[in-house]
Structure 1
Amino acid sequence: MKMQYNSLHIAIKLGLTLSAGLLFSGLAVAVEETETADKNIEKIAVIGSRAAPRSIGESPVPIDIIGGDEMGKTGNTDMLEILKGSVPSLNVHQNPISDAASLVRPANLRGLPADSTLILVNGKRRHKASVIAFLGGGINDGAQGSDISVIPSIALKQVEVLRDGAAAQYGSDAIAGVMNFVLDDSADGGSLVVRHGEYFDGDGTATEVSGNVGMPLTRDGFVNLSFQYKNADATSRSVQRPDAAAFISAGVPGVADPAQVWGSPEIEDDITLFGNVGLDLGNDKEFYMFGNYSERDVRGGFYYRNPHTRGTVFSNDDGATLLVGDLTPGPVGQINDGLGMGDGIDCPIIPITTGDVTSQQNYIDGIANNPNCFAFNEMLPAGFTPNFGGNITDTSLAIGVKGEITDGFLEGVYFDLSGIVGRNESQYFIFDTINASLGPDTPRDFNPGKYIQLEKTFNLDLVRSLDMNLYDDINLAGGLEWHEETFEVVAGDVASFTPGPLTSQGFGIGSNGFPGFQPAAAGVSSRRNYAVYIDVEAPVSETFLLGGAVRFEDYDSFGSTTNYKLLAQLNVTDDLSFRGSFSTGFRAPTVGQANVSNVQTNLSGGVLVDSALLPPTNPISLQLGGSELQPEESESYTLGAVYESGDFFLTVDYYNIEVEDRISQSEKKTLSDADKASLKAAGVPNVDSLQQVSFFTNDFDTTTEGVDLVVNYTAELFSGDSTFSLAYNWNETDVTQFSAITGDFKVSRLENDLPNHRGTLTWAQEWESVAMFTRANYYGKYQGVHVDWDATANNADAAVTVDAEISYFVTDSITLSLGAQNVFDQEAEKINIPEANKQEFGISNNSWGGKYYETSPFGFNGGFYYVKATYNF
């Protein structure tokens, strides 16, 4: 077959494309010359429509294609939820009360953390989010992946999911696989979509307006622009906490019901703009440019602060006595050096003996009527519940040129030269809280600071077909990549971190729940790396394809790494083929993981404590077993088969992924008195204010194995066009080596939090004026965990949810749709703590106000219905 260059695309024969059948780098799209027409007709491996198979049968490794039409019928606006319904090996959790993990939700492909999947847009590496999932639900603790949620489905032609290790082609992060988001490149037409819905419980009301328009750029180019704007109210799946209910019974004024909310956060003014530009430059060259601007505000709940027991605010002995601040004025030289605060010895001790300490006579006499003695019960008699939120801003720009070199010694080589810059900023806010050490002068709202992730990448990719007297030409590719990653910490406002005058009297420092980043922790950390790769695919015979790739990568921090990949496909018959691959891989620790520090509030043994996340090279971390981070290393292999006969399509693939020295957040370690004494002697500041410490570490090894099954069948049934799709995934992770730094409970979460079995069964039907789409989602058993404490861990039952949508084509341009996710309102697993744990820890099913385990793989909000109107032009 003769191959030639098209004015907009580089032609490379199907089956010889770089890296597993699709050239994700954007160098090429397969085209076939027709014998009867002057122009080439683009032939992609799998077209982006509901009627087409979702996996590439000709590829030697498994790839899923989710087309734009299919994404539009899921009824969801969140890209993570859209992909979860289409790719069973992808799991996504909703994260209530999870610090930054509720701002940018992590996703797990093949049971590995979010940053083990490489994200591409138009074949170019996507920058990571600045958010690090400090409370990431076990498997994602400490993960720093890309923010997929900023990519709107209306901006996409299709999504390509490579379910195979690919670090030898694309570098770090591709241990689990690769997701490539292909932007719409239409030069005409467009659409406008309005969608409105809410949960069956009457909350979480969401409204979205999105649009796309394609326009010509001279005669030989295109400009494709997309936007999405949405708002979503918060949800609550809560019951009143027993302690808050007791305060209401005791007559304490102002206790909210519920005092603490478990639910999805509120999302305000979520705006995303995407642009995609292409222009034929002539002489077999093409210019391209694409990028985005995205911004949103997110605000969610936090833990309730009990006005009798909350440490460093209301009591320092778990509610036996009240924490009282001495405000007695004193001379310069006193313990607080003349700041107008006392020395902590002139106020009475107030035992808490009733259900409302503010009603006790000793409190009234010693605190309420004593201007020199202060307790936060005077300001906040009902306690308080902070609200945590953030403003997330994401921008990117990629510019490049590609084409064929037509003269010189590189004649016949196709090239792609590009530069990409991406930036993600997370500005944090915490509301309705206090800096206890400031006493009665504390503000209630704080700006704790921000994180900024900045990445720059330059690529040169080259591809050439060579005649080596085989069945067909060999496809040879090579390239260079330079990458710089920068992570910046910006200090918060002074009140969010300053130690106030009551610090020496046992009151907590910083904005309670999320203390601000101190100037000492602020700064910029950077790392650079470069890579060289070569990739070969050879059709040894008409039925046998063999390929391989080698990539050398050098980092200015930890050194260099070399990885390789081998792949093959054997066509046994016209209908049946077998395929397989073996690869090594790596994931470099992010600059953020190596340098970030933070303080979080978490539950430990049923008690709220402040826990510091410190860099692994901090003296405290080193004393507790930390060390400088090294890259994760992996070995993986995949064996599979493809069967395709007429309108029936089936793929089945087994995978096995071994990862050594996995990077994660350690268990939270309690500092002993000996630890504190040793650290003080070494000159480490603020040791007394810390209760627990964690850090990032290379501490454990895992083996993950599983099976992916995809079946598609299309037919003309029921007087219309029918498409049936079955997708199933079995996945199991085994922690093969770990130490006390990781801990038994973390191991249990890694192995059991995700269901071992996931499946979807989809039926899409279309008639002349009506279309229908329904999907059944199966989730196998999993470990239910609540508030990250092993006393609540329990086995949760398997469940099935159903999504459905029906559309009426009013005209060729206007479509009206009605749909629902989780049509039958399948509930998540309710919290059911074993009796032994209730007795040992003194807890009940709803001690912390939640109805459902937060690890539910299909969420905890229940059914959601929506209406949608689409105008195509």
Structure 2
Amino acid sequence: MKKLLFTTTALALFAPMAAQAAEADQAEPSSEIIVTGTRQTGMKAADSAAPIQLIGTQAFQSVGQQDLTQVLAQTLPSLNFQGFGGDTANLTLSAALRGINPNDTLVLINGKRRHTTANLAVLGGSPYSGSATTDLSFVPTNAIGRIEVLQDGAAAQYGSDAIAGVVNIMLKSADHGGSFTATGGSNYENGGKTAATALNLGFKLGEKGFVNVTGEYKFHDYTSHGNYDRRYFYPDGTLKPGQSAVIVNGLKGFAGYPNVNNINGDARYSIYNLSFNAGYDVGSDAQVYAFGTYGNRNAKAFENYRAPNRVSGTTSTGTTVYPLPNGFQPQENIREEDFSLTAGIKGKAAQWNYDLSLTYGKDAVALYTINSANPTLFSMAQSASPTALTGLQRNFYDGQLSNSEWVGNIDISRDFDLGMAKPLTLAFGGEYRQGNYSITSGEYGSYAFGGAQSYPGFAPTDAGSYGRNSYAGYIDVAADPIAGLHVDVAGRYEHYSDFGSAWSGKFNARYDFSPAFAIRGTVSNGFRAPTLAESYYSSVNVGPGSTFGQLPPNSAAAQLLGFSKLKAEKSTNFSFGFVAHPLPKLQITVDAYQIKIRDRIVASGDIYGFNSAYNANNGIVSQAVQNALISRGVSLADATSYSGINIFTNGADTRTRGVEATATYSSDFGDMGKVDWSLGANYNKTEITRISPLPTAVYNAGFGQTDLLSASAKDALTTATPRVKLIGNALWNIGQFSVNLRETMYGSTSQHTVGAGDGLLYLQHIGTTFITDLNVGYKLTPKIRFDAGANNLFDKQAPTTRLQNDGSRPISGNVYNSPISFTPWGINGGYYYARVTVNF
């Protein structure tokens, strides 16, 4: 039955020369006026000289998980979603456009720059390492009217971060009516119950204005994968011999035995979001406007199980005490607030269009380690008491990360009729940005003597507040010299207080040979300023027998090791393609592109200071690394197996080449309804063209520490995301029913991993995979709609992490049969859901 349904699906999708990767809402066709990627007014998506994809409300209806990142990942073939993250990166997942780091995609709200998260993804060997981009979870989906995705370099138009493209989220502006939605769902297996509800309302603001408001609540429960912990069990679940009675009794008494370790799975979170969009006409040629969002997240994720003997003490009379006799599994917890407000005025004066605005955005993340303990503090306190202590501290405040930004913009434009095919548009403007990033230290018990188990808090030596400002000016000229030829030239200068200046330019052109065929292309250069989080984030991760520190590249300790302060990435972009309308209702676009990035900011591989497997120098691999950790106030007492650092650095040059193709077609079958077909495909290959050498102070040929990037880190840049992604979609409307069938093909991915036990290099490979999504909708009345469906209909599970050659343990992690974290369609398998929508 599965094979028959898949075959039928494939025939339905590919027979009619199908459509665009974005599921365009019928109310928002390619003739929709766009505002992204051009300063001209009245530009239509179908006439754009750069690749633009529109995402309308239909896309939101056919995606079960009502999260903006999921909507984009299931709609755009050039965008990949992070399915799982380690440590705090599991609490703020991100997405990447065109196979490049998430930081290289700029996010706008109503055309204004959106601030970024304070929660930096510190993930060695992950394609998403270093991500500190806009957190799309704080943008309510019910507040969105449409999304414009510019898939082209645009730093000359918008500034830093626009190397891979721009996502411009346009908020609803209706002054009446609204909608209410409620969604519930769960994974077929592995847990993950979800619930979401949202209310959107539009109101008149006096006689000349509007205000549109949205409230949203989202809940997602834990998922859990894998089974037995290799430290205590064999792969078949039997206990390993030679363990103490304290450990064995603790395991058997722990909830869920023998599955005592739940580290592999989604975090549990609840999110509350509020947003508004408002405008008021002042006279006949001006409007004052404002929009903003507020979000609140509480999220928790499991860490590795700790056995009872991990926390122990001896009384003053010599009795050994185990205060947690069943062991414990710590959790990382964040309580996050996200806020943004923009206010401005726009209009026309003396034939000049103007837009002046001021934006403030802030994201603050308070971190906690809960259900944990500080072993050293307990041992010290217990040694002074003749009786077993009670009231062991289990929850710790680890400190706070905060990122804020002020942005002031002025944009001015005017059309000049110079006798060309269309008036020439001259646009110019300026921008001022002021950013601040800060780390606040945690309570003493969270970091003292190695800190609380699993995630020590930020020590005073980690704490600090760091700021910078920048100013920019740009000019943009768009013209149609002759009928059918459109040319757009832009230039931008930007100066940053912490690393200097950047120039960028863009030349973009399109020529329509006829209404049925046009070619288009772009040549541009760009840059990305390092985020303040990448430059200054500092933390320590303490595991059983290990201590690893994330060293700030802009710190004195990093410079002593031979690493330089971060500087801007620089890019050169080329693209060339065509737009064709060979038949009525059929549009085809194909765009080839190349993105070269110089001085790309990458996460280093693990750089060891000590490793017990090193049979020389008493295991010391680099004394300089040890000294750097100590200088940051890090205790190495727990580092009985290994210690070391990771660091962000301008460590590589890369070249990304790809092709993006879309097609759309609409069929009318009369009494059998209408079908909108869509097909989108992306091929994307990244190569590393240069890697910086490892500084002498940390180089050790005898240990094999000779490269800045490990094999895993190299794969994260080149093969850990699919080179090919294809999305085919068929939306069938008949009467009150609609059926949306989507098939996504993920190309193969692979990544090397060093076996944690034997040090050998293993390759994990995921083959080409097809994922089927189905949504069935029914309009009970013109205003009430019910939807039911499934994402990953056939419950395709993520492949599991392989065992070492001797079969004794997984090559990474502590849990047998855990999912491969870079699985491109996520780790949780099938998800089913139901939703009700009421419009009024």
2:14 corresponds to: none
Output aligned runs, 1:280-679, within 5 Å: 280-305=281-306, 313=310, 371-372=317-318, 374=320, 378-405=322-349, 411-440=350-379, 441=381, 443-499=393-449, 509-601=450-542, 609-644=546-581, 645-671=583-609, 673=620, 675-676=622-623
Write the letter of the residue equivalent to 1:372. G
Q: Which has the larger radius of gyration?
A: 1
- 1:608-667 CA deviation, whole Å, 9 max, x = no partner? 622101111434423433111110000011111001242001101001000011112222
2:675 to 702, 722, 731: 722
CA contact (8 A) 1:104 1:147 kept: yes
Shift of 1:221: 1.4
Instruction: Report SS of the residue matched to 1:489.
Output: strand
Between stretches 581-590 and 129-138, larger displacement belongs to: 129-138
Shift of 1:111: 0.5
Shift of 1:793: 3.5
2:631 corresponds to: 684
2:20 corresponds to: none
Distance 1:200 1:682, change over 3 A: closer
2:133 corresponds to: 145
Shift of 1:220: 1.7
2:727 corresponds to: 760
- 1:692-711 CA deviation, whole Å, 9 max, x = no partner? 11222111111011111101
Write the letter of the residue equivalent to 2:524. S
CA contact (8 A) 1:260 1:849 kept: no
1:831 corresponds to: 801
Between stretches 297-306 and 794-803, larger displacement belongs to: 297-306
Instruction: Report SS of the residue matched to 1:77.
Output: coil
Write the letter of the residue equivalent to 2:369. I
Instruction: Report SS of the residue matched to 1:810.
Output: strand
Shift of 1:750: 1.4
Distance in 1 separating the partners of 2:764 and 2:732:
40
Write the letter of the residue equivalent to 1:432. N
Write the letter of the residue equivalent to 1:480. G
- 1:33-53 CA deviation, whole Å, 9 max, x = no partner? xxxxxxxxxxx73xxxxxxxx
Instruction: Report SS of the residue matched to 1:802.
Output: strand
Distance in 2 separating the partners of 1:165 and 1:805:
34
Q: Note if 1:863 corresponds to 2:810.
A: no
Instruction: Report SS of the residue matched to 2:119.
Output: coil
Structure 1: 5+ residue runs without aligned partners?
1-13, 31-43, 46-55, 315-323, 329-370, 406-410, 500-508
- Between the two proteins, the alignment pairs up a number of residues equal to 755
Distance 1:679 1:788, change over 3 A: closer
CA contact (8 A) 2:417 2:424 kept: yes
Shift of 1:238: 1.8
Instruction: Report SS of the residue matched to 1:592.
Output: helix
Instruction: Report SS of the residue matched to 2:806.
Output: helix
CA contact (8 A) 2:190 2:225 kept: no
Distance in 2 separating the partners of 1:863 and 1:849:
21
Distance 1:373 1:635, change over 3 A: farther
Shift of 1:736: 1.0
Distance in 2 separating the partners of 1:848 and 1:787:
16
- 1:362-381 CA deviation, whole Å, 9 max, x = no partner? xxxxxxxxx43657xx2345
Shift of 1:759: 0.6
Between stretches 716-725 and 584-593, larger displacement belongs to: 716-725
CA contact (8 A) 2:456 2:542 kept: no
1:174 corresponds to: 162
Write the letter of the residue equivalent to 2:54. I
Shift of 1:758: 0.4
2:76 to 70, 87, 94: 87
Output aligned runs, 1:40-51, within 5 Å: 45=44
Q: Note if 1:244 corresponds to 2:222.
A: no
Shift of 1:141: 1.4
Distance 1:686 1:271, change over 3 A: closer
Shift of 1:266: 4.0
Instruction: Report SS of the residue matched to 2:823.
Output: coil
Distance 1:483 1:768, change over 3 A: same
2:273 corresponds to: 272
Shift of 1:65: 0.4
CA contact (8 A) 1:787 1:854 kept: no
Distance in 2 separating the partners of 1:654 and 1:106:
25
Between stretches 394-403 and 516-525, larger displacement belongs to: 516-525
Write the letter of the residue equivalent to 1:140. Y
Write the letter of the residue equivalent to 1:618. S
Return the TM-score normalized by structure 2: 0.85
CA contact (8 A) 2:124 2:713 kept: no
Instruction: Report SS of the residue matched to 1:243.
Output: coil
Write the letter of the residue equivalent to 1:426. V
Return the TM-score normalized by structure 1: 0.82
Q: Percent identity?
A: 29
Distance 1:304 1:286, change over 3 A: same
2:661 corresponds to: 709
Q: Note if 1:183 corresponds to 2:174.
A: no
Q: Flag the structure with more relative contact order, 1 or 2, with Cα contacts below 8 A and sequence separation at least 6.
A: 2
Q: Note if 1:75 corresponds to 2:61.
A: no
Distance in 2 separating the partners of 1:400 and 1:677:
52
1:803 corresponds to: 773
Distance in 2 separating the partners of 1:867 and 1:792:
41
Between stretches 510-519 and 458-467, larger displacement belongs to: 510-519
2:613 corresponds to: none
CA RMSD of aligned residues (A): 2.7
CA contact (8 A) 2:82 2:128 kept: no
Distance in 1 separating the partners of 2:448 and 2:572:
47
Shift of 1:396: 0.4
Distance in 1 separating the partners of 2:157 and 2:755:
37
Instruction: Report SS of the residue matched to 2:805.
Output: helix
Distance in 1 separating the partners of 2:190 and 2:809:
34
1:23 corresponds to: 35
Between stretches 639-648 and 618-627, larger displacement belongs to: 618-627
Distance in 2 separating the partners of 1:241 and 1:674:
29
1:134 corresponds to: 122
Shift of 1:840: 9.8
CA contact (8 A) 1:25 1:122 kept: no
Distance 1:487 1:845, change over 3 A: closer
Between stretches 247-256 and 860-869, larger displacement belongs to: 247-256
Shift of 1:553: 0.2
2:90 to 102, 121, 126: 102
Q: Note if 1:210 corresponds to 2:209.
A: no
Instruction: Report SS of the residue matched to 2:681.
Output: strand
Distance in 2 separating the partners of 1:202 and 1:737:
42
Distance 1:788 1:273, change over 3 A: farther
Shift of 1:843: 4.6
Between stretches 644-653 and 622-631, larger displacement belongs to: 622-631
Q: Note if 1:822 corresponds to 2:798.
A: no
CA contact (8 A) 1:551 1:563 kept: yes
Instruction: Report SS of the residue matched to 2:60.
Output: helix
Shift of 1:683: 8.8
Distance in 1 separating the partners of 2:632 and 2:496:
32
2:713 corresponds to: 746
Distance in 1 separating the partners of 2:140 and 2:124:
24
Write the letter of the residue equivalent to 1:872. N
1:63 corresponds to: 52
